[in-house]
Amino acid sequence: MNYTDDGILTNWEAYLLLAPPMGNITLYSKPAQQAPAFSLTTESGSLSATSTDFKLNITITDADNNNDGDIDTAYQYRIQNGSTWSGWASPPSQLDWDLGSVASGNYDITMEVKNMYGVASDAITIQYTAPGGDGAIPSYPIAIISLMAILSVALIILKQRKKLRF
């Protein structure tokens, strides 16, 4: 016989026959019917990003979700982009993801994976930092801007001195 406490049946165990006049005993068994277990991570494993384009790894745990002796492979997934869900599709092991044109901040990515027994959900929060930081002038180091300001002030002073001589 085997039994379950958590939805997964134990291995078969030997049992004892009781001496008559026990009568008939009927046991009913229902196979485990569990939603898939999976995880969602970035390819690098980091939840911080400086690019809006990155890859997501989808790892679905191989399991016999109904105790028929076969590993289940019939899964579908969908992913939430903002408030919109994608359609259900066969899950890849890796997914290209683009946050789009966004400012620095935290962005939630939620994914659902389902089998015939249920839906499991996982979410991660990506901390995106735009290149150069907020309010920065892209690709102009502070030293170059400072040098240009000093030269401009020097030119203005030089022109003022020339005006005063004539």
- Position 86 scores a pLDDT of 92
Report the chain (166 residues): mean pLDDT per 10 consecutive residues. Answer: 56 64 64 82 89 90 78 89 89 88 88 89 90 58 82 89 75
Query: Considering the domain boundaries, does residue 107 fall inside one?
Result: yes
- The boundaries of the domain holding residue 58 are 38-134
Q: Domain count for the chain, please give it.
A: 2
Query: Considering the domain boundaries, does residue 13 fall inside one?
Result: no
- Position 79 scores a pLDDT of 93
Same domain, 86 and 157: no
- Position 159 scores a pLDDT of 86
Query: Considering the domain boundaries, does residue 153 fall inside one?
Result: yes
Query: Considering the domain boundaries, does residue 6 fall inside one?
Result: no
Same domain, 92 and 164: no
Q: What is the CATH number of the domain that holds 62?
A: 2.60.40.10
Alpha-carbon gap, residue 58 to 44, rounded angstroms? 13
Same domain, 165 and 125: no
Query: Considering the domain boundaries, does residue 85 fall inside one?
Result: yes
Query: Considering the domain boundaries, does residue 12 fall inside one?
Result: no
Query: Considering the domain boundaries, does residue 83 fall inside one?
Result: yes
| Among candidate residues 131, 111, 109, 107, the one with its CA nearest the CA of residue 120 | 111
Same domain, 124 and 42: yes
